[in-house]
Amino acid sequence: MNITTCIFDLDGVIVDTAKYHFLAWKRLAREQFNRDFSIHDNEQLKGVSRVESLNILLRICEQDVPENVKLLLADLKNKWYVEYIKKITPDEILPGVLKFLEELKSQKLKIALASASKNARLLLDRIELTNMFDCIVDGTVVTRAKPDPEVFLKCAEDLDMEPEGCVVFEDAIAGIEAAHAGNMYAVGVGDRHILYKADMVISSFKEINIDSILNLPNLKKYE
């Protein structure tokens, strides 16, 4: 099957927002529970929804709070996070991303955005990339979190493309698993020791071009 579509995760793939999520979660742990939240702890939150991230943080901080308080805490963290991303500019698009997207477009491949974030559109507007995508599926639309393939399958459906012709770019293990669960190829963006389940791993978009993607069918497909 020919590759027709490239589907991009947002946080950690197109822009490095993990640091802003981290700063906001760290502040929540410090101000609400007087606990430290480390960059190592933060690894567990990548690709994970806001509410589930809060549950993980509460476990790490050994806190048990009622559901109504959880909503307040999640809102507080989001308020701080939004303050950070409102200041983001197109300069923060990760190296090589723009050139790669433009290459895909010039070759008439479809480009989709698949993110668990409810702030995805705000972020895309800030980095001036909204119009680059043929389809945007974000946390306001999906009901099942990665590793469920819903977010990626919805992109394929919206674009009227077969999942087997889609390549997903992901920095989170759960995202790689979700792509495979949807019968799509997965390119890991980050550390190959962490993302070893991917069909191919890059540390930056400066390392690939469209030929690397069109040759993907030669790789062994994940069973």
Cα 187 to Cα 171: distance, rounded to the nearest angstrom = 9
Should residue 53 be labelled a site residue for ligand G6P when binding is judged by CB under 6 A? yes
Q: Which of 160, 162, 113, 171 is nearest to 141 (CA)?
A: 113
Question: For residues 161 and 172, which CB has a smaller minimum distance to Mg ion in the complex?
Answer: 172
| Residue 170: both structure tokens together | 């992901």
Name the H helices within the chain: 18-33, 39-42, 50-60, 67-85, 97-106, 120-126, 150-159, 173-181, 210-214
- Which of 3, 6, 13, 46 contacts ligand G6P by CB under 6 A? 46
* Least distance in angstroms from the C-beta of 111 to ligand G6P: 19
| Residue 76: both structure tokens together | 């507080």
Cα 47 to Cα 63: distance, rounded to the nearest angstrom = 22
What is the x/- site pattern for ligand G6P, positions 67-106, by CB under 6 A?
-----------x----------------------------
Should residue 29 be labelled a site residue for ligand G6P when binding is judged by CB under 6 A? no
Cα 167 to Cα 114: distance, rounded to the nearest angstrom = 12
Phi, psi of 170, deg, nearest 5:
-140, 145
- Which of 3, 7, 13, 45 contacts ligand G6P by CB under 6 A? 45
Should residue 12 be labelled a site residue for Mg ion when binding is judged by CB under 5 A? yes
- Which of 15, 47, 136, 190 contacts ligand G6P by CB under 6 A? 47
Looking at 117-125, 158-166, 176-184, 210-218, which segment touches ligand G6P (CB under 6 A)?
A: 117-125
Task: List the catalytic residues.
Answer: 9, 11
**What is the binding site for ligand G6P (CB under 6 A)?**
11-12, 21, 45-50, 53, 78, 115-119, 139
**What is the binding site for Mg ion (CB under 5 A)?**
9, 11-12, 47, 171-172
